[in-house]
Structure 1
Amino acid sequence: TVTALEREVASLESQLASERAASARALAGKEDAVRALNKQLADAQARLGEAREVVVQGLGASSRGDVMKVAVRALGSLLPGTHAYAAELTTRADIQGVRTSMAKLAAHAEQEGQDSAFAKALQGLEPAYLKG
């Protein structure tokens, strides 16, 4: 009977070790998922903070140029590469000696045929009270 009890104890220890290993694997997967969710939450909070700033700037815009700056910033937070594209256009306009404004940059982008959806989006974001 001692041998049978020893076998039973060994079997239970083996089962316990298997359950511990399975629990550790499950916990490791959950920790990875929690880290990923925390990163997503931090990214979403950063985007929300930027969106709030854009809204405040938009409400304070008093000229077409101000509106275009706000529009570029808003699009920049939504479309990857927008800030780099606007910087490239600004640099090109500066080199050519053109007075830079966001409206001129948008018109230039549309004339070039590069990313014309970007230019149309900028023009579509101008509020009606500044158009007339």
Structure 2
Amino acid sequence: AIVAAALHYYADHSITLAGHMRYDPGRKWRDLPPGELYPQGMGFAQEIAPLYAQVRAACPETADGVFIAGTGFRCVGILDALERDLARPVLSANQVSLWHCLRRAGVRTPVAGYGGLLKL
């Protein structure tokens, strides 16, 4: 339902996606409903290497960039590597929110290690 709602939102706003994927959190978490993942501890047990591998494998050649939607992904540590390896911008919900807050506060100092957006 969440993915369908997001796809509908993008279509309603004339955003054409080159592709999309749903993250597979692994055997321990795979069969839990989305609303149960974090109450059951996935936020603390989440590994970033599988997310990196899945995003890299699923990224279409035609994609202009990658957006990792959802604030529950612990993905800051893979943004630079994904941008380098995919040769395109990679944005995450938390990264974009941080960038916006910093700009609203008047902070324009580049921040290393959070993807290209925070280096602007």
TM-score by length of 2: 0.27
**Going by fraction, where is helix more abundant, 1 or 2?**
1
Please identify the structure whose Cα radius of gyration is greater. Answer: 1
Q: Quick check: which one's strand share is greater?
A: 2
Could you state the TM-score of these two structures normalised by the residue count of structure 1? 0.25
